[in-house]
Amino acid sequence: MGSTPTPGGVNVVNLIDTLRYALSALRERRGRSILTILGIAVGSGLIISLVSLGEGINTVVTDRLMMLGANNIIVLPAQGSNIQFSDADVQKITRIPGVTVVAPFYLAVAEFQVGGTRVSGRVLGIDPMQLQIIFPGIKILEGDSPTPTSSTQIGVGYKVAFPPAAVTTSRLYVGQPLTIMASTAEGLKTTSFTVTGIYDKFGASVFFDADTAVVMPLPAARRLLGEMRYQAILVNTERVDLVEYIISELEGLYGRNVTVISPSTILSTVRSIIASFTIFLGIIASVSLFVAGLGIMNTMIMSVMERTREIGVLRSIGMTRRDVLFTFLFEAMLTGLIGGLIGVGVGVGLSLGFGNYAGNFFRFGPQFEPIPIRSVITPELLMGTLLFAVLVGSVSGLYPARRAALIDPVKALKTE
């Protein structure tokens, strides 16, 4: 191997020669090297796929929660409480500083008669002018929104108007009547309404699927459900930073009689849980990489034992202990680098596959459609995993390289 003298007169093995020598050593022990590299590739691939999947879940949950609006608060009767909301409660909440809109609403599970077939969904009784607060960006596909004071008009979600082909071949049109069957305090009640509008596809949020819902004004909801008191109240704030303050004010007004839910507070908790889950997945994947590192160490130790005479020859032609150390260390680094590069490709493929598969069963409830998950693969994740693989290879090769460097050249040359 060629070498270049330093100003102090010490011979240092040329870096290019070291690379060539390390590559030739890997080629000579091709079978063992491939298995070791595959161990690094699998570990690196698992890190990328699991961490990216965790980030993808975080993104999906965040997006779905934000569909409800970060500055929204939902006030519900607490479990075991017999509190019911009235217009007086609406006025009381409106007077809280920072509150912009107070929207009382009804919510009930129902079935809709579409083309002779029953389609399951929910009824949302709310002022149609305030629907954008619950579902920001929802749009009318056909017709118009129901009149807020009407007791006969309704707007229907996309999947109610266009049921899946497996359910029925019929669809709803604007102006058609729709028969709704809902459970009320008096039992099952059936009422017909006129469809004035069909909403465009929106998707499922955490609590509610707009596409399988029927939206009706408050008078229509009272007519269907036979209730004058509201089931819940939606509170909209001026700014997101006022949410905590308004929640404390609501709890001060109602105490333990109500349950207060806010997407922003839920989001912070969910993000914390998912972040911990992602870290846990990363640690599990890292264990496999450390196991692969032990494989590198074992391979390198065997290599040193097999090449003892070769080390003696290298020392006799002028290589120093430091040169031998860096030669074997570079071989371990190359193993980690090649395995890491392959692992990056494997990880990207696994991420896409995991994302498609997870989307088949990840949903917010049995009544919701599956939520597609897209793995979040960032350059930082790819580069960090690659560097980690090289680091594992370097650390694993440190002991075998030092062992090779400490071999006595005279004894090494006598080895058969």
270's tokens: 């969910």
Q: What's the chain's Rg over C-alpha atoms?
A: 33
Give the C-alpha distances (Å, rounded to integers) separating 325 from 290, 343, 403, 407.
22, 27, 8, 11
3-state helix, strand, coil in the chain (%, to 5): 55, 20, 25
Q: Which long-range contacts (CB under 8 A, 24 or more apart) does 323-327 make?
A: 323/3, 323/11, 323/12, 323/13, 324/401, 324/404, 324/405, 324/407, 325/401, 325/402, 325/404, 325/405, 326/13, 326/18, 326/401, 327/13, 327/18, 327/21, 327/22, 327/401, 327/404
d(CA 377, CA 352) in angstroms, rounded, equals 9
Neighbours of 44 (CB within 10 A): 31
Vertex 406 angle, CA 400 and 408, to 5°:
130
Q: Is the separation of the CB atoms in 80 and 220 below 8 Å?
A: no
In order along its 416 residues, the chain shows pLDDT tens digits of 444 444 443 344 466 777 777 777 777 777 778 888 888 898 898 888 888 888 887 777 777 666 666 788 889 988 888 888 999 999 999 999 999 989 999 988 899 988 778 888 899 999 998 888 878 788 999 999 999 999 999 999 998 888 876 556 678 889 999 999 988 777 788 899 999 999 998 876 656 778 889 999 999 999 999 888 898 999 988 887 888 889 899 988 998 889 888 877 777 777 788 788 788 878 887 888 888 888 888 888 887 887 778 778 877 777 778 878 888 888 888 888 999 999 999 888 888 877 666 655 555 554 455 566 777 888 898 999 899 999 988 888 888 888 888 887 777 676 65
d(CA 304, CA 224) in angstroms, rounded, equals 83
What is the pTM for the complete model shown? 0.61
Question: Could you tell me where the beta strands, DSSP code E, fall in 6-54?
Answer: 11-13
Going by C-alpha positions, the residue among 398, 408, 219 that lies closest to residue 316 is 408
Q: Is the separation of the CB atoms in 74 and 101 below 8 Å?
A: no
